[in-house]
Amino acid sequence: MSRIFISVLLSSVFITGAAFAGSDPIKARQHLMEDTRDAAKVVGGMLKGEQPFDADAAMAALKTWQKTATEAGDLFPEGSETGHDTEAKATIWTDRDGFNAAMEKFSTAVDAAIAAKPDSLDALKATAGPVFKTCKGCHEGYRVEKED
């Protein structure tokens, strides 16, 4: 009984947490994109030969991307079109199917990369390369280019 109570209590804490994050979806997605880019730096540094290959660090980066793929789609609700200097383009809301399809390509490529468990630089190139290609899929039509 008390166990159920505690799990209910815990889940309500998590739900509240999620709702809190959801109350500011623009900030939440901006943080998510920063994490995504940091992970890209790790993998990209290895692919460029600036960093030695590290299977654990690569997998951690892939998992970060998976988190993005899972969460990002929900962070562009109606009403979050403007504010916080967002770079989200109006096309996300006028062409949601296209946006979702682009996200889905990213998600599929990330899942495949994780399933492949890359254990060498060549394996990472073969699996993370296709993920990198999908980044542009959203940034081409659904992001406004602003100055940093």
Partner 1 sequence: MALAGFLLLLGTRPSGLPSNIFPAHVQDLSNGELLFHAGGCASCHSSADADSELPVLGGGLAMETPFGTFRVPNISPDPDFGIGEWTQSDFITAMRLGSSPDGRHYYPSFPYASYSRMTFEDLMDLKSYLDTLPWAQNRNEDHELKFPWNIRAGIGLWKILNLDPSDVIVMPPDNSLLTRGRYLVEGPGHCGECHTPRNMSGGLNNGRWLAGAPNPEGEGKVPNITPGAKGFADWSQDDIAYYLESGFTPDFDTVGSSMVEVQENMAQLPAEDRAAIAAYLKQIPALQ
Q: Contact residues for partner 1 (CB under 8 A)?
A: 37, 40-41, 44, 48, 89, 132, 135-136, 139-140, 143-147
Nearer to partner 1, 13 or 144 (CB): 144
Cross-strand bridge partners of residue 143 = 88
Minimum distance from CB of 30 to partner 1 (Å)? 13
CB atoms within 10 A of CB 137: 18
Q: Cα angle at 126 between 121 and 127, to 5 degrees?
A: 100
- Tell me the three state secondary structure of residue 77: coil
Q: Least distance to partner 1 from the beta carbon of 10, Å?
A: 36
* Residue nearer to partner 1 on the CB measure, 21 or 108: 108
Q: Which two tokens stand for residue 135?
A: 């980044």
Q: How far is the CB of 37 from partner 1 (least distance, A)?
A: 6
Using DSSP's 3-state secondary structure scheme, residue 88 falls into: strand
Residue whose CB is less far from partner 1, 46 or 75 = 46
